[in-house]
A and B are shown apart, each in its own frame.
Chain A
Amino acid sequence: MNVLHPESILVPADGTQTPCLLGSRCDNCASVVFPQMPVCPACLANGAMQMVEIGRTARLFSHTIARFAPKGFKAPFFQIFVDLPEGPRIFSLVGAECPIEPGVLEDGMDMRLVLEPLADTPESKDLLTYKYVPAASPEKSGKARHA
C-alpha cells in the first residue's frame, strides 16, 4: 500500500516496531513540530532540527462530524485536532473502528495512533495514512491491516 505522506510516518517493517509520526525537534529551543521542517518556526534556527518519533498517543483537542465529503472521502466522517504529548497540535482523522455518532468522542479524551487507508473509496483505499482512535478501544491484533 502507498503511504500518503511517507516522510511523516514510520510504517513498521516488522513486528519489532510500533507505528508513529515523524516530526522535528529543535536542538536550540526544544520546540517539536509536525510535519518535519528544516528551520525552527519558534526560534528560527536553521540546521538545528532533528527527526523525532512522536504521536503514538494523543489527546483529543477538538472534533466535528463532516456531513459533506470532498472527492475521495465518504460522509459522514470525523475530523479532529489532537495534541501530541511531544508538543504539536495536528489535524487528523478517526480510525474506521470508531462509530461515527455524536457523543462517541469527547474533547480531552486519550487517543492512540492507527495507520489505515485514507478512506473507503476507490481513490483513497490504497493510501495509508495516520488516524487516531479512543485509547480505551480494544487494540486490534495483527499487523495485517496495514501490511
Chain B
Amino acid sequence: MREVAIIGVGAHATGQFTEKPLKELGYTAIWGALDDAGVKPADINVAYVGNSIGGLLTGQEGVRGQVVLQHSGITGIPIVNVENACASAATALRGAWLEVASGAVDVALAVGVEKMFIGDSARTIGALSAVSELDLSQMGMQFTTSYAIHPKINLKARMKEYGWTLADFAKPAVKNSFNGSLNPLAQHRRALTIEQVVQSRIVVDPLTLYMCASISDGAAAAVVCSADLAKKFTSKTPVRIASCVLRSGVYRLPDDNRPDTAATTAQAAYEVAGIGPEDLEAVELHDAMAPAELMLYERLGLCGPGEGPKLIDDGITMLQGRVPVNPSGGLCSRGHPVGATGLLQIAELVWQMRGEAGERQIDKRPKVAMAQNQGGLLLGQDSAVYSCTILKT
C-alpha cells in the first residue's frame, strides 16, 4: 500500500440552511477542498460521495453523488455513491484512501453532504429512525432511546454501575459547547453551563435536549493523494492517513462479553498506525449524545471503566488539555449533518494539525490525531457501522 496524504479539506457551515439544496451545500465544501489542495477538477481521478438520508428527504435517489459533483464541475470520472448511516462520510474517505493507497489512482476526492432541514422535522426524525433496522424503527425505536437503554450502551445502567450523575452526563456537552462557541462553522455557538444542560427538557429519560445532537445541514470534503505527490500541489503540511479502519457491528446474544466494536475498531486502527491511545494529541469522536463521549473514552482506550467524567474534571480532554476531544464542538455543538459528519471531523483535525483552527487552535499543534465515527442500529447489535481514522503529520 502507498502512503496517502490529505492535501486539502473544505466544509460548509453546519446549521439550518433550508433554502440550500444538497448540491449547494456540497459545492462550498468541494471547492473549499479543491482550492485548499491547489488542485483543479481535472486533477481528480475518482470521487466518493457520502450521504445518508437525502433520498428519503429530498426524493433524489440513486445519483446524488453525480448531481452534487456536476454542480461543482466534476464529471466523467468514476463517482461512487456511499450510503452508510451516520458513518457515510468516513466510509467515503476510506474509499478515496483505498483508491490511492492501492495505486489505482493518484488523486481522489471524498465528500460528505447532508440536508436535514426540509421544513418538516417529523419527516426528518422518521428518516433518521429508518437508519435503524426496520424491525426496530417500526416499533418506535429512536437513536436517543438506544443510547439511554440499549444493552450495549445503556447510559441509565452506567449511572448505577459507575455512580455517574446527570451533571457528569452534562460535562462533555459543556466542554464541547465551549469549543463550538469558538468555531465559526458550528451550528450552536453558545457555551453552556452544567445547569443549563441538566435543566433543558428531557428528550428520552435520562437524556436532556442539550445532550443530544440536533438535526443539521452541512457538508465537508477532502482531497487525498499519494504522499509523494503532495508537494506537487501544495506547500501546506500534508496530513498522512496512518490508518483508516471500517467495521460493522456483530450479532450479540445477551451473554456476549466480547469487547465492544467501537473498541475493536480503534484497536485495529492503533495497530495499523503503530501507535497507542497514549500517543493521541487530538480526537474528534461520535458524541451523538453527549454522555456517549464518556463511554467512548473507555472504548478508545483513553481511560479505564467509569473514569470518563474525571478526564474532563482534570482538564485532560479540554481544548488545551493533554488530549483534546472534539475541539470543533463535536456533534452536539458543531453539528451532526449525519452523512457529512465523518469528513467534518477530518477537516477539523487537518486544520488543527496545520495550525489553522483560529480561536480554537490547540496550542500544542497535534501531530497524531484520531477521528471516530459510527452509525446505524441493527437488532442484535450495538451500532451497525464503526470507523476509526488516524492522522499523522
> Which A residues are within 8 Å of any B CB, using their own CB?
4-5, 8, 31, 33, 35, 41-42, 61-73, 77, 79-81, 83, 87-93, 102, 118-119, 129
Contact = CB atoms under 8 A, between A and B. Distances in A.
Contact of B253 (A42, A64, A91): A42
B77 interface: no
Of the candidates A31, A41, A77, the one having the most CB atoms from chain B within 10 angstroms of its own CB is: A41
A129 B205 contact: no
Contacts of A31: 253
5 tightest CB-CB pairs across the interface, nearest first? A41-B251, A62-B149, A89-B254, A64-B148, A79-B145
Interface residues of B, number: 33
A42 B126 CA distance: 32
Contacts of B150: 62, 81
A57 to B, nearest CB: 16
Nearest to A35: B135
Of the candidates A33, A81, A88, A93, the one having the most CB atoms from chain B within 10 angstroms of its own CB is: A81
Contacts of A35: 135, 379
B304 interface: no
B151 A5 contact: no
Contacts of A118: 138-140
A44 to B, nearest CB: 10
B267 interface: no
Contacts of B104: none
A126 B276 CA distance: 54
Nearest to A32: B253
Given A33-B380, A70-B126, A64 B140 contact: no
Given A41-B253, A42-B253, A69 B140 contact: yes
B120 to A, nearest CB: 10
Contact of B140 (A41, A61, A77, A81): A77
B247 interface: no
Contact of A91 (B126, B136, B154): B136
A79 B140 contact: yes
Given A62-B154, A64-B205, A71 B136 contact: no
B157 interface: yes
A132 to B, nearest CB: 12
Interface in B310-341: none
B203 interface: yes
B204 interface: yes
B345 interface: no
A66 B138 contact: no
Contacts of A129: 139
Contact of A4 (B138, B251, B380): B138
Contacts of B123: 71
A102 B206 CA distance: 11
A119 B149 contact: no
Given A72-B140, A81-B150, A89-B151, 19 more contacts: A5-B135, A8-B135, A33-B253, A33-B380, A41-B253, A62-B154, A63-B149, A66-B204, A66-B205, A68-B142, A68-B144, A68-B203, A70-B137, A70-B140, A71-B125, A73-B140, A83-B254, A93-B140, A118-B138
Contacts of A67: 201-205
B151 A102 contact: no
Contacts of A4: 138-139
A65 B205 CA distance: 6
Contacts of A90: 379
Given A81-B151, A91-B136, A62 B204 contact: no
B156 A71 contact: no
Contacts of A66: 140, 142, 144-145, 203-205
6 contacts: A5-B138, A64-B205, A66-B144, A70-B137, A87-B254, A88-B253
Interface string B148-183: 111100101100000000000000000000000000
